[in-house]
């Protein structure tokens, strides 16, 4: 249907799972897609598959917890495709740690990727969207923003933070043609979920 014909989209965490599926659907709808991933071994095959199927995509290695990586991702996207219309903040990590075993390194690691990384991607892409007349931001939160689970204080805080951040910027940018929305998926059959189950003492109870 090419509903996204000539749109340029950045999808973070696009090397697997939800991000990979979003990137593939966007490409089928005519978007030019930046496949952003920390691991080339994951991200590059996604971009190659899209191109092989007749779409347009480029892989950019990016760890969204690293400010220079995020800046480079935005700059490279514009150099490659000329603008940014859509940003999907999908990249994130998860770990289950009881509060009595939590430490600041674990807290900071997750926050730096899931919340701070999402904010940085928005921080550096929004001025470019405004320069080109507007855009759309889709932030992937979690059902943890609705109902939290034991052992996920840091993850729940980050995902609630994404919702609050998105609401604030949706209001701030509404009159400048930049939409900000949140999706909060439940359990999805992705590599991340497989990792969670594999690390659980009882895989059935992890459900």
The residue behind tokens 């980050």 is 158
Q: What is the DSSP letter of 202?
A: S
149 noted as active-site residue: no
Q: The tokens of 94 are what?
A: 């998860």
- The total of other beta-carbon atoms located within 10 Å of residue 168's CB is 11
What's the rounded Cα separation, in Å, for the pair 13 and 143?
18
Sign for the pseudo-dihedral over CA of 151, 42, 68, 138: negative
**H or E segment and range at residue 59:** strand 56-61
Catalytic residue selected from 94, 124, 132, 155: 155
Its sign, for the CA torsion 19, 79, 30, 174, is positive
Catalytic residues: 155
């Amino acid at each position: 249907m090419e509903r996204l014909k000539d749109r340029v989209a950045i999808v973070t965490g696009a090397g697997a799972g939800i991000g990979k599926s979003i990137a593939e659907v966007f490409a089928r709808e005519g978007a030019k897609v930046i496949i952003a991933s920390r691991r080339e071994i994951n991200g590059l095959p996604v971009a190659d598959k899209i191109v092989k199927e007749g779409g347009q995509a480029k892989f950019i290695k990016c760890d969204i917890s690293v400010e220079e990586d995020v800046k480079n991702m935005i700059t490279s996207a514009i150099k490659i495709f000329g603008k940014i219309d859509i940003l999907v903040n999908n990249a994130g990590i998860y770990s289950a740690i009881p509060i009595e075993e939590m430490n600041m390194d674990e807290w900071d690691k997750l926050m730096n990727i899931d919340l701070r990384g999402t904010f940085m991607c928005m921080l550096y892409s929004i001025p470019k969207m405004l320069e080109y007349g507007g855009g759309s931001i889709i932030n992937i939160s979690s059902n943890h923003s609705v109902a939290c689970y034991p052992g996920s204080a840091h993850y729940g805080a980050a995902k609630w933070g994404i919702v609050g951040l998105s609401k604030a910027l949706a209001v701030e940018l509404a009159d400048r043609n930049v939409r900000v929305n949140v999706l909060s998926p439940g359990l999805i059959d992705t590599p991340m979920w497989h990792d969670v189950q594999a690390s659980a003492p009882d895989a059935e109870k992890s459900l």
